[in-house]
Amino acid sequence: MAFCPDCEAEYKAEVTVCPDCDVELVPDLTSENRVHGKSHHEFVPLRSFKNSTEAQMAFELLERNGIRAFVRAGEVGIFGSSFIGGAVMVDKRDLPRAIEIYEAFFNAEPTAPPEDNQTDSF
C-alpha cells in the first residue's frame, strides 16, 4: 500500500501520486513525512491584531492553505467593554509559508475594477 503524506489517503501500491493533492505517495506515514504532522508543535506569533475579526480572517486564510494555526485571544479592557489585541499563532515549521501567504493576500496592490461604460473618444 501507499499513502499520501498530505491527505493521508491510502492507495494501491501501483499508484505513485495522490490524484487529489498531486504529491508523491510514501510507503508508510511517519512523523517526518506527514505534511500535517501530529508531533509536538511549537507555535509562534505570525501577527498581532487590533480585534478578533481581523485575527479570524487571517486564521481562515491560513487554514484554507494548509497552515497549522490558531487565534490566541487578546485581553478584555479594564471595564470589560473593549477587545485589546489578539494574535494568530502558527506552527514554527509553517512560519515562512504563512508569512508569504499573509503578505500576498493582505498587502497586494488593489486593482481597479473594469469600467462598464468605456467609450472611445478621439
Identify the structural domains of the chain with CATH numbers, from first to last. Answer: 1-39 (no CATH), 40-108 (3.30.70.790)
pLDDT for residue 70:
86
pTM to 2 decimals? 0.54
pLDDT for residue 78 is more than 70: no
Average pLDDT of the residues in 74-97: 72
Partners of residue 43 on adjacent β-strands: 91
For the four alpha carbons of 55, 75, 44 and 21, in that order, the dihedral sign comes to negative
72 pLDDT tier (thresholds 50, 70, 90) = confident
For the four alpha carbons of 15, 28, 64 and 97, in that order, the dihedral sign comes to negative
13-56 confidence digits (pLDDT tens): 888 898 877 888 898 888 777 776 555 678 899 998 888 888 88
Which has the closest alpha carbon to 45: 72, 24, 22? 72
In angstroms, the CA 112 to CA 75 distance is 38
Contact 46, 68 (CB under 8 A): no
Q: Where are the alpha helices (DSSP H) in the chain?
A: 52-64, 95-106
Whole-angstrom Cα Rg for the chain: 21
Contact 90, 102 (CB under 8 A): no
